[in-house]
Chain A
Amino acid sequence: MSGSKRKFTRRTALKTGAAAGAALAAPMIFIRSAQAAYCNAPRGGSVTLGFNVPQTGAYADEGADELRAYKLAVKHLNGGGDGGMLNTFKPSVLKGNGILGKKVKFVTGDTQTKSDAARASAKRMIEKDGAVMITGGSSSGVAIAVQGLCQEAGVIFMAGLTHSNDTTGKDKRRNGFRHFFNAYMSGAALGPVLEKEYGKQRRAYHLTADYTWGWTQEESMKNTTEALGWQTSKTVKTPVGAGDFSQYITPVLNSGADVLILNHYGKDMINSLTQAVQFGLRDKQVNGKNFEIVVPLFSRLMAQGAGEAIKGILGSTNWNWSLQDAASRAFVKSFGAEYGTPPSMAAHTCYVQTLLYANACEMAGTFSPAQVVKSLEGFKFDGMGNGPTEYRASDHQCFKDVLVVRGNQNPTSQFDLLEVVEVTPRSQVEYDPAIFGGNLGPVNTKAC
């Protein structure tokens, strides 16, 4: 009998205690590991987004407008205001109650339009403020640097204004997504219009900002114009923030070129275009033709800074507030009512990116980067101001129509500075992702 009875020894007590302890602790261990399954998993009733924009430096104008748009997006996501594009975006599962029921909060950083400062502010927002997603831009160098950091840290990066082919080309990352168009698309959209307006016999002189965006913009414009039959007279790199471009403009006068392509943006573009006009380039006749200036990447904010010099100049843009589709009108109405000015294209792309991220989280049912990436890859949507759009899975680049614009000769208001010359269909600006190389790599969902 005694053999059948289990004896409760000290050893048994220890084993039982350990097993019971392990069993009780198990749910907590699983919960903890689930919470730490990805970086900055939101706890409590709110989720924090990091808005990393240039508040100083050459692109501060764009940065200020981007920040306004982000704040408006947060307001709309939390159910405030008139909802803006939440009312036109489809297919959308956004409810106006935050993201996954959590109230959206945000922190901001100043990139200073410098890669090291941008990385430092993004790092601070991830490590100190607990941002689950970083977004921002206005310089491709900065965007690429921050995209790399977000990939390493395991958070999603929704690029703001960045136009270099490299962002979703050789430097693309699985955790990074770009809604904005790129230099290749600018070239592809501008080509037919340049041919129509200026003909096939032209000699182009390029002044190019000496960093990743400038290089790819120059390459794309050169490829496009040479395919039209134009000759490239010279390509000259200029330092970013050069201020006085006179020493770079004077050689153009006697170069035999009859077109000047300014691969500049922001403050540099305002200065170089204004000075090129001051040097009389637009009044010049070369090779029996009127001298022309082309600015491949245009924005209304730059047009404002350049004043009269912008009139009649051709360029391309991602979006313009004068578009009359329902989504653009809704966004302009919200933004104008909030800030008293229409939004810039930088503001538009940032607003859209925030909504797209929020919607991807709702679709995935989680903030986990692995699931959010899956939701965004190949996502097709409409009602965001650019017509039918797709986030291409192979390089995380959005494909949509591109606008070719011209500096308005007869503006009706201080904001009416660009007129849309042509809406270039998406099919005309598409390309094989292999041409720019790069590898998305795996999604990073590590805890931080």
Chain B
Amino acid sequence: MDAIILQILNGLDKGGAYALIALGLTLTFGTLGVVNFAHGALFMLGAFCAVSFNKLISLEQVVLDATQKTAWGTALEIRTPYIEVWFGDIGTVLLDYSVPLSILFAIPVMLIFGVVMERGLIKHFYNRPHADQILVTFGLAIVLQEIIKHYFGANPIPQFAPDIVAGSANIGLWLGLGDSVVYPWWRLVYFAFSAIVIFGVFAFLQFTTFGMVVRAGMRDREMVSLLGINIERRFTIIFGLAAVVAGMAGAMYTPILPPDYHMGMDFLVLSFVVVVVGGMGSLGGAVAAGFLLGVLQSFASMNEIKSIIPGIDQIIIYLVAVVILLTLPRGLMGRKGVMED
């Protein structure tokens, strides 16, 4: 029982990341009809917003202490972050909360990046075949990766959760199962964060006039345009919103997985499987499939399962995708006519 609860929790926080990326992918596809292979790179860029923000607020004052020497004979450098020099304890707290605060930095950066990317590149490929869109966005993803590698290096850069959520929650005690079920606080925070963002995106599309117009545009773009609504401008904003969602997901994921330039590609392939399993163009499908595949992947990693089918944890997602596409060719919640000639 304990093991099952733990694997469900594992699956939910992993599924949260899959769902957030897949949600952005589906938004882009549903509104603009663009298959965006650079979406994983947007997740990675978001993670590096957290790294950049941390580097920015950790800029250090360096004082040479001539009384102490390094092993190679130079004066020892005493380093203190400026933010602590200027603000004392408040500065220390700001440093501690660097990852959640980086969201405030990531949102405008990713929004601007998303809008510029759509206006500068993606809009030229609206009426081109999906293969062209895949090639150009995949190329863009590689360019973004190489830029990040150039400036930040190839190695992962660890980011740390605030001290208050650095430990583990004793979930077993809450559920009356003893103290054998513990789970890191930050992973619970991430799951809650992804649930809030997903809910926010759905609420935005469901309960605002802007969202209503976007949904109408997703159904029948021409009709909405004929009504005198500039649907293209709204779709541009939606592309920016998708970039923001991916960026926030990436920034908050950094204490779980130290970011490196390649992390977007690692998530991209899985997220496309999630979108296809959920059903192309279905927001609900993307979210449901994200969590479903996250949980299945975690269960497949259990020793009991692996002792029956060795290596199943590496292929379970693809296996499920094959089974679902054979039985439900449009995915779990796919609509008729989407990506069908």
Contacts and interface: CB of A to CB of B under 8 A. Distances in A.
30 contacts: A55-B154, A56-B154, A243-B257, A244-B257, A246-B10, A246-B298, A247-B297, A247-B298, A247-B301, A247-B302, A250-B3, A251-B303, A267-B258, A270-B258, A271-B258, A274-B158, A275-B184, A278-B166, A279-B168, A279-B182, A280-B168, A280-B182, A283-B167, A284-B182, A305-B158, A333-B72, A336-B71, A336-B73, A337-B72, A342-B72
Contacts of A60: 153-155
Contacts of A236: 303, 306
Top 5 A-B pairs, shortest CB-CB distance:
A336-B72, A280-B168, A247-B301, A250-B6, A278-B184
Interface of A: 55-57, 60-61, 234, 236, 239, 243-244, 246-248, 250-251, 253-254, 267, 270-271, 274-275, 278-280, 283-284, 305-307, 321-322, 329, 332-337, 340, 342, 413
A337 B166 CA distance: 37
A413 B76 contact: yes
Interface in B91-117: none
Contacts of B306: 236
B88 interface: no
Given A57-B154, A250-B10, A270-B258, A333 B71 contact: yes
Nearest to B167: A280
Nearest to A236: B303
Contacts of A336: 70-74
Contacts of A337: 72-74
A402 B314 CA distance: 37
Given A305-B158, A333-B71, 10 more contacts: A247-B302, A248-B301, A274-B158, A278-B184, A278-B186, A280-B167, A336-B70, A336-B71, A337-B73, A413-B70
Nearest to B314: A239
A274 B167 CA distance: 11
A253 B257 contact: no
A140 B181 CA distance: 37
A236 B257 CA distance: 21
Contacts of B7: 247, 250
B197 interface: no
Contact of B71 (A246, A254, A321): A321
B184 A267 contact: no
A333 B72 CA distance: 4
B2 A254 contact: yes
B183 interface: yes
B118 to A, nearest CB: 30
B330 interface: no
A243, A305, A335 — most chain B CB neighbours (10 Å) = A243
A279 B184 contact: yes
A154 to B, nearest CB: 32
Interface in B1-33: 2-3, 6-7, 10, 13-14
Given A239-B314, A247-B298, A342 B168 contact: no
Contact of B182 (A57, A253, A274, A306): A253
A342 B71 CA distance: 8
B232 interface: no
B303 A234 contact: yes
Interface of A is mostly: helix
- Interface bracket on B: 35 or more
B89 interface: no
Interface in B232-261: 256-258, 260
A448 B299 CA distance: 53
B76, B149, B158, B302 — most chain A CB neighbours (10 Å) = B158
A246 B303 contact: no
A322 B153 CA distance: 27
Nearest to A308: B160
A339 to B, nearest CB: 9
B70, B166, B180 — most chain A CB neighbours (10 Å) = B70
Contacts of A329: 71
A213 B263 CA distance: 24
A266 B168 CA distance: 25
Contacts of B297: 247
B168 A270 contact: no
A335 B313 CA distance: 44
Contacts of B2: 253-254
B180 A307 contact: no
Nearest to B186: A278
A250 B155 CA distance: 26
B309 to A, nearest CB: 14
Contacts of B149: 56
Contacts of A342: 71-72
A386 B30 CA distance: 63
A430 to B, nearest CB: 31
B307 to A, nearest CB: 10
A336 B69 CA distance: 12
B72 A335 contact: yes
A324 B160 CA distance: 34
Contacts of B313: 247
B158 A307 contact: yes
Contacts of B158: 270, 274, 305-307
B39 interface: no
A226 B180 CA distance: 26
Contacts of B257: 243-244, 271
A342 B156 CA distance: 20
Given A247-B297, A283-B167, A332-B72, A253 B180 contact: yes
A270 B167 CA distance: 17
A243 to B, nearest CB: 5
A302 to B, nearest CB: 11
Nearest to B169: A280
A332 B71 CA distance: 7
A279 B166 CA distance: 10
B246 to A, nearest CB: 17
B132 interface: no
